[in-house]
Amino acid sequence: LTKNRYPVNRGDYAILNDNHVQFFKNLLDNRIITDPDECESYNIDWIKNVRGYSTCVLKPKTTEEVSKILAFCNENRIAVCPQGGNTGLVGGSVPVFDEVILNTSLMRTIYNINGTSGVLICQAGCVLEDLDNALAEHGLMMPLDLGAKGLCHIGGNVATNAGGLRLLRYGNLHGSVLGVEAVKADGQIIDLLSALKKDNTGFHLKHLFIGSEGVLGIITKVAIQCPPKPLAINLAFLGLPSFKHVLKVLKQAKRDLGEILASCELIDQSTMRVSTENLKLRLPFPEEYPFYMLIESHGSNTVHDEEKLTVFLEEIMKNELILNGILAKAPSTIRKIWELRERLTEGFVLDGYVFKYDISLPIENFYSLVPVMQERLSGLKDVIRVSGYGHLGDGNIHFQVSCREFSQEILQKIEPFVYEYTSKLRGSISAEHGIGFRKPKYVHYSKSPESIVIMKQLKTLFDPKGILNPYKVLPP
Ligand code: FAD
């Protein structure tokens, strides 16, 4: 249980014994998994990059149960790995050694949806897509949307400050999360569950939990501001000759579509082949292009939106910015096109091993890393593709190198170069996926020494024994 699979040493935590397990059983009845085969899937992350060997998965239903579990673990120095839908992409959601897994999948009560204010209050284990479906009955929707929506939990979304496909229009979770309830490492319940839009009574402590990746406390409830479901949705799918053209189209879309611009995604040709070749999905037109853009509009008036889209499309065609394009209005066509984008993470896994980087860069440099890395990795026979795609409208590229299997030689060619490159351009080495287990030693490329010190002081304040998600987020 204490062997080192990774270059980190196991902390000085207790090894789980029968008395510990009995305590959990008494508290949770049968909501505990100790069978090694059943524990297996909770120990491996979605992209199968990180794996732990926990022998105990706990599934509380209430905040009080979470509180009792943490108080006990804190007292007995048992390390805990908080886990939602386990779709995180930086290895934060699985144990590194034998940490007890506290999984929120049974915390899925929706307490209230207020159709007038648009405020949703629910438990942390609600699945994002279930919330979206429940809100639809009130004419509302979740302010965030990701390819993992069928699996990820709202608590996990808040803990990672997830971005996703609609951030351009609806902002990030620091804006839309109105309040949280969280449990500290010692079991203390912190009620920050405000449902108010305005509340300037001192520090906004909820923000500490948004993006804290399970190292400061366990989020148990969330209050979130949800926008009305748009009555008119249109999606333009475009083929373009170069990144220069992409930037011009982005500028035009911002100008012509204004407040209805909801999403602006970019996919390069090599990435698109993951969808067409690995996943056998079909492009809406037969030819391939160097770049593809998905531009979605959300509005309340079909005629008004169509007028805006017509002006936009006429303008980009007149200026010869695109090589091909279609405008999809039917929900089924829109869904099919989005599959090309949303299933990329799944498609990349079929290449074998994927080195994934989630980077923010100034917009002019959004794509510059890809050709630089293609050059740097040329000649390495195990590399399958070096490519980029992502949230162009937010300046957030997902840069990927895929190969048949993990290779130290390839890793050394990529890291730390990719972080140095990003840092020189004052970008962020983690735009939306977080730091997790994979990136703590690189945090300094994006955070000043002073802010790292404050992060560590906050960790000590919230979790003095360091039982919550050890080995993650904070640099060693
Ligand atoms: P988990 O993966 O279970 O956990 C993530 C982190 O949060 C871990 O550190 C965990 O310890 C912590 N955590 C989980 N629940 C809690 C809690 N209740 N309290 C405290 N800490 C907790 N991410 C994006 O930002 N944008 C995208 O567009 C996007 N697309 C994706 C597409 C696919 C196909 C996949 C597989 C992933 C994608 N992701 C994306 C990454 C992932 O879905 C998000 O990070 C998501 O928010 C994780 O939620 P989860 O419930 O799965 O959390």
Atom of ligand 1 nearest to the CA of 107: 18
Cβ–ligand 1 contact at 161 (below 6 Å): no
Cβ–ligand 1 contact at 345 (below 6 Å): yes
Of 85, 76, 79, 71, nearest to 8 (Cα)?
79
Cβ–ligand 1 contact at 82 (below 6 Å): yes
The per-residue pLDDT for 5 is 78
Cβ–ligand 1 contact at 59 (below 6 Å): no
Ligand 1 center from residue 241 Cα (angstroms): 34
Tens of pLDDT along 287-307?
Answer: 999 999 999 999 999 999 999
Atom of ligand 1 nearest to the CA of 345: 34
Q: Calculate the alpha carbon distances from 137 to 114, 141, 229, 354, 373 in Å.
A: 11, 9, 10, 39, 47
Ligand 1 center from residue 145 Cα (angstroms): 12
The per-residue pLDDT for 164 is 94
Report how far residue 316's alpha carbon sits from residue 357's, in angstroms, rounded to the nearest whole number.
31
Atom of ligand 1 nearest to the CA of 124: 18
First to last CA, the chain: 21
Ligand 1 center from residue 162 Cα (angstroms): 7
The per-residue pLDDT for 49 is 86
> If 0-12 CB within 10 Å is exposed, 13-18 middle and 19+ buried, where does residue 418 land?
buried
Give the helix/strand (H/E) hosting 296: strand 291-299
**Domains of the chain, start order:** 18-106 (3.30.43.10), 110-225 (3.30.465.10), 232-344 (3.30.70.2190), 351-434 (3.30.70.2740)
Cβ-contact 190, 122 below 8 angstroms: no
Minimal-distance CA residue to ligand 1 atom 25: 162
Encoded amino acid at 247, one letter: L
Encoded amino acid at 368, one letter: S
Report how far residue 206's alpha carbon sits from residue 81's, in angstroms, rounded to the nearest whole number.
20
The per-residue pLDDT for 339 is 97
Cβ–ligand 1 contact at 159 (below 6 Å): yes
Residue 100 is encoded by which pair of tokens?
């007890």
What is the phi/psi pair of residue 172, to 5°? Answer: -95, 175
Atom of ligand 1 nearest to the CA of 151: 52
Residue 233 is encoded by which pair of tokens?
């949705």
The per-residue pLDDT for 390 is 96
Atom of ligand 1 nearest to the CA of 473: 9
| ipTM value | 0.99
Report how far residue 31's alpha carbon sits from residue 63's, in angstroms, rounded to the nearest whole number.
15
Of 224, 221, 85, nearest to 142 (Cα)?
224
Cβ-contact 83, 472 below 8 angstroms: no
Tell which one of 59, 80, 152, 294 to mutate to probe ligand 1, the residue whose CB is within 8 A of the most ligand atoms: 152
Pairing state between β 261-268 and 324-328: unpaired
Ligand 1 center from residue 46 Cα (angstroms): 10
The per-residue pLDDT for 2 is 54
Cβ-contact 310, 325 below 8 angstroms: no
Residue 111 is encoded by which pair of tokens?
């307490």
List of the chain residues with pLDDT < 70: 1-4
Sequence-separated (6 or more) residues with CB below 8 Å from residue 301: 231, 232
Ligand 1 center from residue 149 Cα (angstroms): 10
Burial readout 348-385 (b: 16 or more C-beta within 10 A, e: otherwise): bbebebbbbbbbbbeeebbbbbbeebbebbeeeeebbb
What is the phi/psi pair of residue 114, to 5°? Answer: -100, 110
Tell which one of 63, 151, 160, 391 to mutate to probe ligand 1, the residue whose CB is within 8 A of the most ligand atoms: 160
